[in-house]
Amino acid sequence: MKRYGPAGLVLGPFRTALIALIATAVAAGCAGEGADSATGGKRPAPPAAGQEGPPAPKAAPADALAGYAEKTRRKQAARVAAARKWRLARVPLAAPAPPAAKPRITTRKGFEVAGGDTLPPVFTTVPTKERIVFLTMDDGAEKDPALLRMMTELDIPYSAFLSDYVINEDYGYFRKMQARGVTLSNHTLNHRYLPGLSYAEQKREICGQQDMMAKHFGKRPTLFRPPYGNYDGDTLRIARSCGIKAVPLWASEAFPDHMEWREWDRDLHPGDIILTHFRGPGEWKGSMPDMVRRVMKTVTDKGYAVARLEDYV
């Protein structure tokens, strides 16, 4: 005999059995809503005020793993599409998850100043064994909207070290950058050569920029990069006095048409910090997207991913 389900569909033995199982489960669920054998057929009383109720059911491990895999797949597909759109030579590699605890960072040998044990560390590389590097951009002179779109769509993290004298014509551009998850840090008010200034003048440049950053972006930075990478003991003592915790310099510098290297082997190393600048065609051979294409080709070809500096410092 044929059996018919909703809308007149013919049901085979498997579908018939499945409907029976579903009906049994629904009936059991309905019965459970009003009765409980351990409470004499009555619903358990709700927890009293201030008491915790029963724990919420947790997702099955397989479900959580499947959800993570699907999220990762979609993220990688978006990155592939973005790499094609922005004409990157290769799809950027994804950075590993940040460490549970940040590494201990000390001043690089040869970069010390007197009394430096209590001063913010000065370094060019973050201690890590992961094949990651960090991309940083200085000053803020060029305000290319394409850069914001490109880095967001490619999901490439970077950090900005800003000088007020070149960003004060358009703080809004950098607020958009901040809203996209970019950390905005201190590069002084006027980009002056700090060791040539008096203590008071250095303090105005460094701590004055701390005040400007708090005023326009709501936060006082904890990272500081001295202009040209030049500093002395006063620089670091002043920086510490107004909230600076670390002074990241750089191991290499990116341009639209080439890379420059601090290290003798002219290569990347795990944890290296890469410097570039907010510049446009009027000041160098290319645009900000051209620079990103160049540096990402170098980074990806060498088997590195770009990670977020503030996750490690």
Percent of the chain with pLDDT strictly greater than 70? 81
Asked, for residue 247, whether it belongs to a domain, the answer is: yes
Q: Please give the mean pLDDT across all residues of the chain.
A: 86
CA-angle at 266, arms to 191 and 83, nearest 5°? 80
Handedness of CA 221, 222, 228, 233 (dihedral sign): positive
Residue 91 pLDDT level (bands cut at 50, 70, 90) = very high
In a domain, 10, yes or no: no
**C-alpha–C-alpha distance, residues 84 and 248, integer Å:** 32
pLDDT of 16 strictly over 80: no
Give residue 25's pLDDT.
38
Flag whether pLDDT at 89 surpasses 80. yes
Strands 252-254, 259-261: pairing is antiparallel
**291 confidence band (pLDDT: 50, 70, 90):** very high
Indicate the pTM of the whole model.
Answer: 0.79
pLDDT in tens, 252-268: 999 999 999 999 999 99
Do the domain assignments include residue 168? yes
**CATH number of the domain that residue 216 is part of:** 3.20.20.370
Expressed as residue numbers, the domain containing 265 is 96-311
Q: How confident is the model at residue 242 (pLDDT cuts 50, 70, 90)?
A: very high
- Give residue-wise pLDDT tens across range 25-63: 334 333 333 334 333 444 445 555 444 555 555 556 788
Specify if 175 maps to a domain: yes
Determine, yes or no, domain membership for 221. Answer: yes
Q: Is residue 187 part of a domain?
A: yes
**Per the domain annotation, does 89 fall within a domain?**
no
Contact 288, 278 (CB under 8 A): yes
Enclosing H/E stretch for 215: helix 199-217
pLDDT per residue as tens digits for the range 121-131: 999 999 999 99
Is 123 a domain residue? yes
**9, 16 contact by CB (below 8 A):** no
Q: Report the domain count for the chain.
A: 1
